[in-house]
Each structure stands twice: as structure tokens, then as C-alpha cells.
Chain A
Amino acid sequence: MSQLLLDVNGLTMQFGGLVAVNKVNLTVKNRQIVSVIGPNGAGKTTVFNCLSGFYIPTAGSVMFKGKEIAGMKDFQISRQGLVRTFQHVRLFSNMTVIENMLVAQHRHLNTGLLAGLFKTPSYRRLEQEAMDRAIFWLKEVDLLDSANRESGNLSYGQQRRLEIARCMVTQPELLMLDEPAAGLNPNETKELDELIIKLRDEHEISILLIEHDMGLVMGISDHIYVIAQGTPLADGNADDIKNNPDVIKAYLGES
């Protein structure tokens, strides 16, 4: 039996009296694209924040590669190989594109003070490797020409791609994308679509996706979870979801 990459059980998040996420179960296998959908305010981003360690879940377990990560600090979780993007792009906007890519690899570099001051061979080698990886990923997302531009000056679509590249350069096993198509035009959405599939097929990582754009979700997901008002509603492949009466009700309202 292949081991689950991510196994979430009974995830619950409470803010005071408000239950934002209620007993959500979720699994992601290797090389799988999994989507979480739901109406606005359903608690999707809260699920993400719990998984990535920005919130400490009130209850439930989050197993990543067979290891409990619920309660770990956010930066420790991302070091395990679980990296996320944000609904509103978060770039280091006064820094150049390539600097963004290098910062992301911070923990892979020789950060010793003396090593850097004297530029030891190991320091140089790691810097060069980081540079190579950065260039590789900038090529993948077609941003190499803009490498020395300040990232805040990029177009919105480019910023989205840079954010994904910046995650990929940390060599994750699970990439979590929070509404990556928000604000993109149809053309850019299609490119994003292709990029996500490429990440799974060529780079062999898994992707967990929150998305509003149904077209994108239905087209590429191997498995879809629907949550409404913080509670799991349904899960299955695209066809199951499309024909599920509960889901239709949740989206279109009681009729």
C-alpha cells in the first residue's frame, strides 16, 4: 500500500465560540492534485492556515509523510516539504525576482557568518547551486528575462507565477495553492492549468488546491473535497461532485 503523503483527520479550528473548521478529513497521495472547494467563507483558507502552521488547530491530527505536524511552528512545517502560496500574493516586492528565489532557499545555503565573510568553497558551491535552481525554475515559469527586475513591478500574472516558482525552489513534496487563479485572465488561467499538471507529471510533486474557478478545478483535480460552513460536505472525483445534490444545494442555495 502506498503511504499517504498528507493525512488529515478530524481537523477542527475554533476561534472563541466560532467553529471555523469542523472535523475535516482529507488525504493526498503522492503525485496527486487534490482540490478543496466550497462557497465563500466556508473555511478553506482556515484549513490551509492550520495545515501550514499559521494557526494551531484546536483538535485533529495532520500527518505529513507519516509524521504529526499539527502544532509545529510554520517555518518548521515548510521545512518538512509542505509549502504554500497566499490568496493575496506575498512577494518581497522591493527585492528583485532572483533575490526572491534565493531567499526561498535560505535553509539550503551555508548561512554561517564566517563562511560568507571569507567566501569558503562550500559557501560558493551552495550559492551557485541555489543560483542554478533559481534559474531553472525561473525558466520553467518563463520569468528568466525579468530576473533582475524588482518583483513588485511585475504584472499580476507574473507575480503569481513567481510565487509558485519561489515555492518550488524550496524543493517541496506538497505544494498548497490558495486560489492561484484569482485575478488571472482566461489565457493566464490556462497557462496556470498546464503548469500545475506539469508540476505533478514532470516534477512528481503533489498539489493541494483551493480554488473558486470551477473549470480549473474540475479539469485537473484527481480528487475534490467540498466543504461548507467549515464542515465536510462531499468528496470524490469531478463527476461525483458535479452530480452531488448536496453540493449543488450548497452552491446555489436552498431552493
Chain B
Amino acid sequence: MGKLYNAIFSAGVAFVLACLMIGVKLNTDGTTLQVTGASTEQWAWIIGGIALVFFSQIFADQIDTAFGKIPKPTVSHFLPEGDKMAQLKPWLMAGVFVCMVIWPFMVSRGSVDLATLALIYIMLGLGLNIVVGLAGLLDLGYVAFYAVGAYTYALLSQYFDMSFWICLPISAGMAALFGFILGFPVLRLRGDYLAIVTLGFGEIIRILLNNWTAVTGGPNGISGIDKPALFGLEFTRRSKDGATLFHEYFGIDYSSSYKVIFLYLIAVVLVAFVIFVINRLMRMPIGRAWEALREDEIACRSLGLNRTAIKLSAFTIGASTAGFAGSFFAARQGFISPESFTFIESAIILAIVVLGGMGSQIGVILAAIIMTILPELAREFSEYRMLLFGLTMVLMMRWRPQGLVPMKRPVLELK
């Protein structure tokens, strides 16, 4: 009986939630505001939703057991065991890398472009994974460091005509510096305070970029940012200032897809570099200390670990990865504005980390690919993208907080 009461109650709640917000629509007609009732179709949806809530409450137990029965695959199920894996791993990595390099020459320009975008999100996801997944610091203003990286390159390129390759490390360094300056005071704060402060910081950076018109161009942003060059060879159709052009140097016809492929390849190299560095870091004392701090801060202190220094290093390294991605983003787009660096962007990167599995590198990479490619495949659902992101975060936390591909503990050889 209790169950039926529960179900009726939940259905009632669902009705209250939906009746005005979906059932009635506001229209502005000239200066007057009007309401119109939803179409029959929409009401059918509402009633369907209420029915769904009703029955899901009635069958709550069965649904829960059914969920429990769904196997939770881990990557290790698909891979050979232990020693064999250790032998295979370098080959596998090399194979993936080679495929990544050859692949763009066989597909359309659009696909390559999309893949480049996915690679940017992989970089961002991996960087945030250090901060959130490993060190357990919820950073909601991560996009600020991405913005710092992007603007550093854009400004240096615009005002000082510096090349992408010089700016890349400078951007990462600038982002790291910002991370350090912000991190130093705020890292002793408790988890949720930290989340809000970083969120506020992200907004401050965006507002400053928006209003410091003289330097950043304000809401109009910065356009005409130079694209990266290959050892001084540029990928434009005509030379601006007498620089050698890629297609002239090799004596081939100009094609804009060279540039796209070149950008993609840069992204592949950058991602490979980031993966290598983070992989090492995770197995270094500092990486272990990050995780230990996430697990128990008091125990860390009692063992002589300086928590401020350790948190700061996670924050700074995470920030520099975002700066790295940011300068590449600026170079790829050729145009940046504060619009690209809103809180939504931070939320998407966080969703990538959460979906993939906090701390899990493979998980984050997969999630970044899914999150960038899925909305493209299902264009008609693109307006539902953020709605689904939010929903995914709620559902994942409830049923699978460890993510799609949970982090695996390293097995250390005892000798």
C-alpha cells in the first residue's frame, strides 16, 4: 500500500513540476506578455512523463535490481591479462598513434576538424582530471586557465608577432602562474568553498576579458590570430609578409585541408605529450601524494606531507594543461572572445571527467570523444545537449560515481 501511495505522491509532484513550466508557454507580443497553453502533443509528453514516474515508483525495487544486474564492464575485461598486457602495451600505443596520424588523410575535412576539437577536450579533461580526479579539488573555474592560455597566445601573436611554438610554453606558463596565484590563498579552503571560489574566479576572468576593451577587444574578441607554421612554412594561400608557404615549398597545389590536417596533427602530438607527462606524474611521488590528499588530508599532514605545496602543484599543473589547450584553441580558431569561456565550458569539462571516471585517464579520453562527437552525430538533439549533460551528471553520481571506466590501481612489483 505504501508503494501505491508513494507512486501517487510522486506522480502528483511530477505534475506540479511540469504543469506550468511545460504546460504553459510565455510569449512576448509587442510589449505585452501572453501565455499560451501547450499543444496537445506536449501535454501527451507531460502525461507520459507522469506515468513514467508513477510506474517507476511502483516498480522501484525491480528497477533497482535490474540496474544491479547490468554488468559494469571495465576495460580490463577486454584486454589480456598482466604480463601479456605489459608486453603488448607499447605496440598497442604505437598502433593507436600511427592510426591517429594516418587517419586524417582518408576522411573528410569536417571529420578531421571535429577530431581536433575532441583532442582539445581530451587535453582539458586530462588536465582537470588531475585537479578533480586525482587531488580531489573541485575546480569550477577551470575554463579561466583555458582562457588565460588562449588570450596569452592571441595577444602575444597580435602585439608582438610571436610564433605559436614560442607562445605554447609561455601560455602554459602563464596559466600555471594564474593557477599558482589563485591557488596559493584558496587551497586551504574546504572542498565546497573551493568550488565556489574557483567559480567566482572564472567569472572574474571572463568579466575582465569582456571589459578590458583596449587590450582584449572586449566582447568582440581578437580575430586574425596567426595559425601555427611548420618550421616557418605557413599554410595560408598567399603570403602576408613574404614568409615561405607550405604548398609553394613542396610545389603542390594549395588546399585548405592541409592546414586542417596539420592542426589535427599538432593536436595529436600535444595530446600524446600531455598523456605521457600525466602518466608519469601519476606514478611519481607527487601523483601518489595528490591521491593521498584526496583520501585523507589529516593523515597526510601527520605523515609530514605539506598539503599546501601538494595541492598547489596539482592546481598549477592542471592549470598549465588548460593553458596549453587554450593556446592551441586560439591558434585553431583564429578568433577568440569571452563567449568561448563561460561557466558552461567548465561544466562540460567537468562532465567529461565525471562521465569518464575521476582519476581514470582512459575514461576521460573516451568521455571527451563521446561528448564531442555524440552531439555532432545527433544534430537534431543538439538543443538537448546541455540538458543531457546535466542529467548525466546526476545519474552518474547516483549509480556509477566511479565513471564509465573506473580508475585502476597500479600493481607494483615487489622486489
Contact = CB atoms under 8 A, between A and B. Distances in A.
A75 B288 CA distance: 17
A8 B411 CA distance: 44
Contacts of B305: 75, 103, 106-107
Contacts of B295: 91-95
- Interface size band for A: 35 or more
A52 B291 contact: no
A35 interface: no
A74 B301 contact: yes
A7 to B, nearest CB: 21
Contact of B288 (A76, A103, A131, A170): A103
Interface in B277-315: 277, 280-281, 284-286, 288-289, 291-292, 295-296, 298-307
Nearest to A135: B414
B409 interface: yes
A168 B227 CA distance: 56
Contact of A102 (B288, B296, B300, B306): B288
A150 interface: yes
Contacts of B414: 98, 131, 135, 144, 147-148
A116 B291 contact: no
Nearest to B287: A116
Given A107-B305, A116-B280, A86 B299 contact: yes
B90 to A, nearest CB: 16
B188 to A, nearest CB: 12
A95 B409 contact: yes
A90 B284 contact: no
B106 interface: no
Of B284, B285, B292, B296, chain A has the most CB atoms within 10 Å of the CB of B285
Contacts, number: 116
A99 interface: yes
Interface in B242-287: 277, 280-281, 284-286
Contact of B289 (A91, A103, A167): A103
Given A90-B298, A95-B295, A106 B409 contact: no
B79 interface: no
Contacts of B306: 75
Of A103, A110, A116, A170, chain B has the most CB atoms within 10 Å of the CB of A103
A84 interface: yes
A166 B303 contact: yes
Interface in A63-91: 74-76, 78-79, 83-84, 86, 90-91
A104 interface: yes
A19 interface: no
A252 interface: no
Contact of A95 (B277, B286, B288, B411): B288
Nearest to A52: B302
A12 interface: no
Given A75-B304, A103-B300, A117 B288 contact: no
B412 interface: yes
A126 to B, nearest CB: 9
A14 interface: no
A96 B303 contact: no
Contacts of A92: 291-292, 295-296, 299
A70 B304 CA distance: 16
A237 interface: no
B307 A75 contact: yes
B299 A91 contact: yes
Nearest to A107: B304
A84 B302 contact: yes
Contact of B303 (A95, A104, A131, A150): A104
A113 B284 CA distance: 9
Given A98-B412, A147-B412, A74 B302 contact: yes
B296 A111 contact: no
Contacts of A90: 296, 298-299, 302
A80 B362 CA distance: 40
Given A92-B291, A147-B412, A86 B302 contact: yes
Interface in B395-415: 409-412, 414-415
Nearest to A115: B284
A109 interface: yes
Nearest to B284: A116
Contact of B412 (A94, A113, A148): A148
A106 B299 contact: no
Given A95-B295, A147-B412, A109 B285 contact: yes
B284 A103 contact: no
A116 B304 contact: no
A95 B292 contact: yes
B281 A116 contact: yes
A116 B288 contact: no
Contacts of A52: 302
Nearest to A123: B284
A43 B343 CA distance: 48
A117 B285 contact: no
Nearest to A94: B295
Nearest to B276: A117
A109 B292 CA distance: 15
A239 B63 CA distance: 64
15 contacts: A54-B301, A75-B300, A75-B307, A78-B302, A83-B303, A86-B299, A92-B296, A95-B288, A99-B288, A103-B292, A107-B305, A113-B281, A116-B284, A148-B411, A148-B412
Given A83-B304, A113-B281, 19 more contacts: A54-B301, A75-B300, A75-B302, A78-B303, A91-B295, A92-B299, A94-B295, A95-B291, A96-B409, A99-B410, A102-B288, A103-B289, A106-B303, A107-B304, A110-B285, A113-B284, A116-B284, A116-B286, A148-B411
The 8 lowest CB-CB distance pairs between A and B, nearest first, are A116-B284, A92-B295, A90-B299, A78-B304, A103-B292, A109-B285, A79-B304, A74-B301
